[in-house]
Amino acid sequence: MRTTGLDQRIAHEVIEIVKEAGRFAARPFSVTDIHAKSRTDFVTNVDFAVQEQIRRRLAELTPNVPFIGEESTAYAADVSRVFWLLDPIDGTTNLIRGLIHSAVSLAYVEEGRPIFGVVYDPFSDECFTAAQGIGAFLNGESIQTSSFARLDECLASFGTAPGNRELTPQVFSSMRMMYDACVDLRHAGCASLDLVWIACGRLDVYVEHALKPWDYAAGMLIVNEAGGTVTSLDGSSPSLFYGSGIVASNGFVHDAALALLKEDCAQ
């Protein structure tokens, strides 16, 4: 895969680093320790092990690039220009419960924008990658978003923003409106895989009212490079420094999805 701001050789090595670390998650009985960060947010020995392995290997490969990981932001130094942004296990609850639907998500961020991204599902051995201006790929093959132009042709996916219970009424009323407008809804509990499944046309719209940047940085680039659109719920560009609600789509139905969500907020 060719890349822009990141050297092509380094990009290839990074993909291998992510895959190697991610495979640990798919081993039977990999989860041995579970810690509750809150009633709805968990971290396991696998999250820590994957993060540490990737952090260490990236430090060897790109010693001058700061690193931020979901399970510790302590490594971050100056992130004003470039940095690595990692969710070692996106879909930790799925991993704990044996619902084989989790991913490693890594983005290289330059000037506040993702310019290289990898989302690796170790259970299916599917590796989604993208580089700005170059395209999006699944296991090296080019991918594109779907071409449905009406919501009533679309399969939508929703995240429930489980850590933001104050948003629950809004989340479920938006889900109901989207369900009424679309063919059907899915809820699978792994934001990065929802995004890359938009990128390869398995899904057409994805909405979650609150996420952290490491959940969407890589997936956002992969969707954009596959021809889709990713915005905040108000249509603005999602920040990679603060969390955001996310609407991702094949592009054709994006305005219709935003209008529906706006109509819901107005009620």
Please say which residue, 191 or 221, places its beta carbon nearer to ligand LIP: 191
Please say which residue, 93 or 144, places its beta carbon nearer to ligand LIP: 93
- From 91, 114, 238, 251, residue interacting with ligand LIP (rule: CB under 6 A): 91
Q: Determine, following the binding rule CB under 6 A, whether residue 161 of this chain makes contact with ligand LIP.
A: yes
Other Cβ atoms within 10 Å of 255 Cβ, number:
12
Taking CB under 6 A as the binding criterion, the range among 86-94, 115-123, 169-177, 246-254 that sits at the site for ligand LIP is 86-94
Q: Determine, following the binding rule CB under 6 A, whether residue 87 of this chain makes contact with ligand LIP.
A: yes
Please say which residue, 91 or 227, places its beta carbon nearer to ligand LIP: 91
Tokens standing for residue 150: 């009406």
- From 21, 190, 218, 246, residue interacting with ligand LIP (rule: CB under 6 A): 190
Closest distance of CB 95 from ligand LIP, Å? 8
Binding residues for Mg(2+): 70, 87, 89-90, 215
Closest distance of CB 203 from ligand LIP, Å? 13
Q: Determine, following the binding rule CB under 6 A, whether residue 204 of this chain makes contact with ligand LIP.
A: no
Closest distance of CB 93 from ligand LIP, Å? 6
Q: Which residues here bind ligand LIP, judged by CB under 6 A? A: 41, 70, 87, 90-92, 159-163, 189-191, 208, 211, 215
